[in-house]
Structure 1
């Protein structure tokens, strides 16, 4: 079955998150995904608050940029979230936007090398291992968590390019694909991820979830708002990158991404969405029943 979620954009003010989380929780939304975009809202703080304000909602972080945090600190944060809210914290890591990383003096020469070293160490720490490693960017000397999760939580990697997608398949439990990814691009991403999974010592192993964000808008001005998104992101056309309309139209469009290999579709509202609480209710109560 396809998992359906929604995004709480960091362009919405932090103080509105509580009401959106409560609306999502009450409406039965499966997943609410947050972003840590520079220089808007802190990912871990927002995620922990969202989890505390909800009783059953899974909250995803897509994603934490690895240049900004020491891997041991990230492991402590993820382990704490998992122990506080078992099974409900879905954490993704990734390169981060390189221009932003440069702004804060954290840009590295080889982002893929950093992500490999970081993701490998993070998985090991979350698995309760004591880790010693001396890499190009990640160095740990006998580090182990005093409060590891009872079972290692899933780790997602955000990826776009072929090398990063193969790496996601190799070191992660799931891959995050950005908004604007077409169904054909999902197919190509799935194939590259599977190449990476085949490189694991144990082979492909457990299922690997593909999570894709899809631009979406509903309401009387939906088409105009989505057209503004097309211009903002520089897309030549919206076909395959987003959908505007009622629940039936959006559910029909979602099928294209799921047929291409997406396990989870996360509907991404426009930054000028007039009713974020209404949007998550719409996804949970009107679109969800129409998506197998």
Structure 2
């Protein structure tokens, strides 16, 4: 079954999260995803609050930019969330938007190297291993978590370009694709991630999970809001990006992503979505029954 979720966009003030998370939990939405875009809201703080306010909801963060986070601290935070809310947390890491990283003095010469080193160390620490590493960016000496998760959780990574997509297959447990992708792009991303897995000799174990955001607008002005957001991001002329319409139209778009290889599709409202609580209810109550 294709997992389905929605995004709480950080263009909303943090104090709106409680009502949206509770609405999502009440109607049985599977997943609520958060962002750590600069300079809006903290992914970890928001995730901890959303998890504490709910009982069943799974909360994802996509993405945590690794230049901002020492790997030991990021892993401590991840482990704490997984211990507090076992089975309900999904974290994705990324090399960050380079202009933002430059604004805060965290930009590195090789974002790919940093992401690889961070993923390798983080996954080892979450497995309960004692880690010593002297990488280009990640340096740990005899570090182990006192409270690792009871079961090592998956660590996902975000990617756009071919090299990073292959890296997610080599060093992460899944790939997160943003809303700027079409079904054909998803197919290509799955192929590249699988190439990375093969290169790294990761032929056994579980399936590599692919999470895709799908820009979604519903309601009488949905098509206009969708087009306005695509125009604002420079994607107005790209065909097959996003979906506007009723539950049937949205479910069909979700299915196209699933057919292309996505295991999880996260519906991303437009930044000017007028009713965030209504959006999560729409996803859970009207779209979910139409998605096998």
Pairwise TM-score range, normalised by the shorter structure? over 0.9
| Alpha-carbon separation, structure 2, partners of 1:184 and 1:238 | 12
Q: Which residue of structure 1 lines up, in the alignment, with residue 187 of structure 2?
A: 187
Pick which of 73-82 and 249-258 moved more.
249-258
| Alpha-carbon separation, structure 2, partners of 1:212 and 1:202 | 22
| 1:66-111 CA-partner distances (Å, limit 9, x unpaired) | 0001000001000000000001010000011000000000000000
Corresponding residue SS for 2:179: coil
Shift of 1:163: 1.0
Shift of 1:204: 4.6
| Alpha-carbon separation, structure 1, partners of 2:21 and 2:216 | 19
Q: Which residue of structure 2 lines up, in the alignment, with residue 216 of structure 1?
A: 216
Does the Cα contact within 8 Å between 1:187 and 1:260 map onto a contact in 2? yes
Q: How many pairs were matched up?
A: 292
Corresponding residue SS for 1:60: strand
Corresponding residue SS for 1:5: strand
Shift of 1:252: 1.2
Shift of 1:205: 2.9
Q: Which residue of structure 1 lines up, in the alignment, with residue 174 of structure 2?
A: 174
| Alpha-carbon separation, structure 2, partners of 1:5 and 1:204 | 28
- Residues 1:30 and 2:30 aligned together: yes
Q: Which residue of structure 2 lines up, in the alignment, with residue 234 of structure 1?
A: 234
Corresponding residue SS for 2:230: helix
Matches within 5 A, 1:65-144: 65-144=65-144
| Alpha-carbon separation, structure 2, partners of 1:25 and 1:198 | 38
Q: Which residue of structure 2 lines up, in the alignment, with residue 291 of structure 1?
A: 291
| Unpaired segments ≥5 residues, structure 2 | none
Corresponding residue SS for 1:11: coil
Matches within 5 A, 1:266-277: 266-277=266-277
| 1:118-144 CA-partner distances (Å, limit 9, x unpaired) | 100000000000000000000000000
| Alpha-carbon separation, structure 2, partners of 1:83 and 1:91 | 14
Q: Which residue of structure 1 lines up, in the alignment, with residue 49 of structure 2?
A: 49
Q: Which residue of structure 2 lines up, in the alignment, with residue 261 of structure 1?
A: 261
Q: Which residue of structure 2 lines up, in the alignment, with residue 244 of structure 1?
A: 244
Does the Cα contact within 8 Å between 1:211 and 1:265 map onto a contact in 2? yes
Query: How big is the alpha-carbon RMSD for the aligned residues of Structure 1 and Structure 2?
Result: 0.9
| 1:148-198 CA-partner distances (Å, limit 9, x unpaired) | 101111100001111111110111111000112110100110000000111
Q: Which residue of structure 1 lines up, in the alignment, with residue 21 of structure 2?
A: 21
Change (3 A) 1:236 1:224: closer
Q: Which residue of structure 1 lines up, in the alignment, with residue 157 of structure 2?
A: 157
Shift of 1:203: 2.3
| 1:250-279 CA-partner distances (Å, limit 9, x unpaired) | 111211111111111100001110000000
| Alpha-carbon separation, structure 1, partners of 2:255 and 2:43 | 30
Change (3 A) 1:256 1:74: same
Does the Cα contact within 8 Å between 2:183 and 2:257 map onto a contact in 1? yes
| Alpha-carbon separation, structure 2, partners of 1:91 and 1:219 | 31
Q: Which residue of structure 2 lines up, in the alignment, with residue 11 of structure 1?
A: 11
